[in-house]
């Protein structure tokens, strides 16, 4: 059995099928890519996996349990985290405090207690602070721990979003265009960290990304969507050589060269 199974998933918006009978099986420890032209249905698939939207039909099985109808917070508790296209964090908080909030989601400390020096949570909060510093070290943001989050440049804001997601303790990490807007050096840094997320932390990853060169070099397997239909599923080499993919997507993108 796959670590994540999406079976015959269909999502209608009005009378339009954004995704139609989509299947995806992801093995534990894989980095799985999901690509396709704009409007192909990729984000809809991630939205059904993290619970942002409910599928019209089909089922989602994660770690052996069906989660199709679970709300997002229950899926997070089971180990699913997401890095969105937008940089989502508390802009007026420090980098460290943003990650502490991520750890709060998996702790039993009340949100208000995180920033209060009460005797009931002092030792636990000390441990959470150290964990937050550790994850900042992992993504290369330790030197920015005391910076206000909104003052970070875009590439480091993306790393902060990743750090917050990692702080929730995921088993499955959904990455929605994690390298968009980054320069070449920032892209290489992020791709290296994603590899470390799998190799050093054992976290399974699903990535949506328009940078095809990055996807081909990063992923173990790739599925291709076009107009809501899956047209291919295989290794990067198989995808790159698939005539249907070349016609629908790769042949029209500069990255395919």
Query: CATH class for domain 1-79+170-257?
Result: alpha beta
Mean confidence (pLDDT) of the chain:
89
Structure tokens at 8: 């015959």
pLDDT of res. 132: 93
From 9-18, 70-79, 83-92, 114-123, the region with the lowest mean pLDDT: 114-123
Residues of the chain with CATH 3.40.50.300: 1-79+170-257
Reported for 227-230, long-range contacts at CB under 8 A and 24+ positions apart, including other chains, are: 227/39, 227/40, 227/41, 228/17, 228/18, 228/19, 228/20, 228/22, 228/40, 228/41, 228/44, 229/20, 229/21, 229/22, 230/22, 230/23, 230/24
pLDDT of res. 70: 96
pLDDT of res. 174: 98
pLDDT of res. 127: 81
Rounded average pLDDT over 31-35? 97
Confidence label for 13 from pLDDT (cuts 50, 70 and 90): very high
**pLDDT above 70 for 257:** no
Q: Pick the more confident residue, 197 or 37.
A: 197
pLDDT tens string 101-156? 887 666 555 555 555 555 556 777 788 889 999 999 999 999 999 999 999 999 99
pLDDT of res. 158: 96
pLDDT tens string 215-228? 999 999 999 999 99
**pLDDT above 50 for 58:** yes
**pLDDT above 50 for 179:** yes
From 32-36, 82-86, 123-127, 235-239, the region with the lowest mean pLDDT: 123-127
C-alpha distance from residue 233 to each of 34, 50, 57, 197, 244 (Å): 9, 21, 21, 23, 11
**pLDDT above 60 for 253:** no
CB atoms within 10 A of CB 68: 17
């Amino acid at each position: 059995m796959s670590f994540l199974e999406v079976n015959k998933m269909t999502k209608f918006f009005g009378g339009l099928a954004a995704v139609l009978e989509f299947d995806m099986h992801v093995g534990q420890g894989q980095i799985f890519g999901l690509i396709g032209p704009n409007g192909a249905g990729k984000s809809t698939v991630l939205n059904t996996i993290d619970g942002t939207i409910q599928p019209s039909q089909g089922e989602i099985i994660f770690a052996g349990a069906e989660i199709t109808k679970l709300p997002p917070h229950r899926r997070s508790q089971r180990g699913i985290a997401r890095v969105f296209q937008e940089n989502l964090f508390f802009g007026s908080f420090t980098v460290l405090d943003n990650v502490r909030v991520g750890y709060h989601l998996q702790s039993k400390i009340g949100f208000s207690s995180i920033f209060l020096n009460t005797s009931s949570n002092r030792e636990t909060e000390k441990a959470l602070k150290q964990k937050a510093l550790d994850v900042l070290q992992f993504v290369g943001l330790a030197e920015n721990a005391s910076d206000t989050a909104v003052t970070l440049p875009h590439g480091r804001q993306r790393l902060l979003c990743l750090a917050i997601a990692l702080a929730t303790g995921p088993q499955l990490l959904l990455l929605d265009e994690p390298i968009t807007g980054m320069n070449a050096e920032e892209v290489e840094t992020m791709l290296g960290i994603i590899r470390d997320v799998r190799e050093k932390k054992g976290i399974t990853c699903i990535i949506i990304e328009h940078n095809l060169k990055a996807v081909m070099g990063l992923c173990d397997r790739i599925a291709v969507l076009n107009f809501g239909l899956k047209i291919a599923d295989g290794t990067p080499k198989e995808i790159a050589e698939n005539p249907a993919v070349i016609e629908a997507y790769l042949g029209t993108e500069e990255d395919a060269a």
